[in-house]
Amino acid sequence: MRLAVVDDNPQDREELMSWLKTALAQRRKPAECLEFSDGASFLEAAGQDHFDLVFLDIYMEGMDGVTAARTLRSFDPDCVLVFTTTSTDHALDGYRVRAIQYLVKPYRMEEVEEVLEEVLNRLPPEESVIRLHVGRQDRLLVLREILWADHFRHQIHIHLGDGTEAAVRMTFGEFTDLLREERNFLVCGRGVLVNLEHVRDFDGASFLLDDGTQVPVSRSSSETARAAFGEFLFQRRLSQ
């Protein structure tokens, strides 16, 4: 989940963010949480990558929250919107931009948790993600988007469905430990792992992925890989 808190009051913004992180941690809900001090910077970020949830202050200098919400709705109809405000005078505006709730300042932790619980019940089921330190920042990777990965020069090179690559400095064992509960991932050689969801075919020596990539399979892993791929296909048919 990706969420934002937009508020030009640093104290209000930091307090709400702290409460949200605490509530999400208690619910074991991984989330990328971003703060913005004005509507313009938030809209720029929202235009680049979708937010699942935004807490948006109505009374801000410059662009007010209602204007920011209207602009957001022009390109993102799905983001869940919660207004934070000192007054509910904008109830009609909230209805027009489909804000699901208001938090009236000064709010309490209990109110934040109630709103968050309502929001989480409205959001679609979350995709499985892992949090990794890529470059100089933490990044959430959706497991479905991982095609395959290999270990080279003390880094895990994670090849993604959009054609990009994320390089993470960690051991191969540390990386596979993050995926041990995921049946779709198979170690098919020394320092090589593939996501079976993206495998089109197997010729005994390599997996052919749906983007045309051929991922090599070691001789010692060939029979295990064949059996694992067959079982994966069988289980997928059963679930359809």
Q: What is the pLDDT of residues 68-125, one digit of tens each?
A: 988 998 998 888 888 888 766 655 454 455 676 778 888 888 888 888 888 888 776 6
- Domain identity same for 116 and 41: yes
- Domain identity same for 11 and 107: yes
- Domain identity same for 183 and 204: yes
pTM over 0.85? The answer is no
- Domain identity same for 157 and 220: yes
Domain count, the chain: 2
Peptide bond into 106 cis (omega under 30): yes
For helices 65-75 and 39-48, the axis angle rounded to 10 degrees is 10
Report the pLDDT averaged over residues 161-167.
93
Half-sphere exposure of 186 (CA within 13 A, CB side): 25
- Domain identity same for 8 and 23: yes
- 49: Cβ–Cβ under 8 A, 6 or more apart, which residues? 2
Residue that is last in its domain, among 122, 142, 159: 122
Give me the CATH number covering residue 148: 2.40.50.1020
Residue that is last in its domain, among 122, 140, 175: 122
- Are 84 and 112 within 8 A, CB to CB? no
Which residues, in sequence order, are bridge partners of residue 150? 157, 192
- 129: Cβ–Cβ under 8 A, 6 or more apart, which residues? 30, 140, 141, 142, 143
- Domain identity same for 33 and 68: yes
What 3-state DSSP class applies to 17? helix
- Domain identity same for 78 and 161: no
Structure tokens at 111: 């109110």
What 3-state DSSP class applies to 61? coil
Give me the CATH number covering residue 77: 3.40.50.2300
Predicted local confidence at residue 165, as pLDDT: 93
Task: Give the whole-angstrom CA distance, residue 151 versus residue 171.
Answer: 8
Beta strand extents in the chain (DSSP E only): 2-6, 32-36, 53-57, 80-85, 99-104, 129-134, 137-142, 146-152, 155-160, 165-168, 185-189, 192-195, 199-202, 206-209, 214-216
Task: Give the whole-angstrom CA distance, residue 148 versus residue 157.
Answer: 9
- Domain identity same for 180 and 207: yes
- Are 83 and 102 within 8 A, CB to CB? yes
Structure tokens at 48: 């680049």
Range of the domain at 157: 129-239
Which of the four pLDDT bands, split at 50, 70 and 90, describes residue 42? Answer: very high
Task: Give the whole-angstrom CA distance, residue 214 versus residue 147.
Answer: 11
- Domain identity same for 134 and 235: yes
- Domain identity same for 139 and 230: yes
- Domain identity same for 11 and 98: yes
What 3-state DSSP class applies to 44? helix
Residue that is last in its domain, among 96, 122, 148: 122
With 50 as the cut, is the pLDDT of residue 3 above it? yes
Per residue in 201-229, pLDDT tens? 999 999 999 999 999 999 999 999 999 99
Task: Give the whole-angstrom CA distance, residue 108 versus residue 170.
Answer: 41
Predicted local confidence at residue 240, as pLDDT: 61
- Domain identity same for 48 and 115: yes
Q: Where are the alpha helices (DSSP H) in 80-186?
A: 91-96, 109-122, 172-178
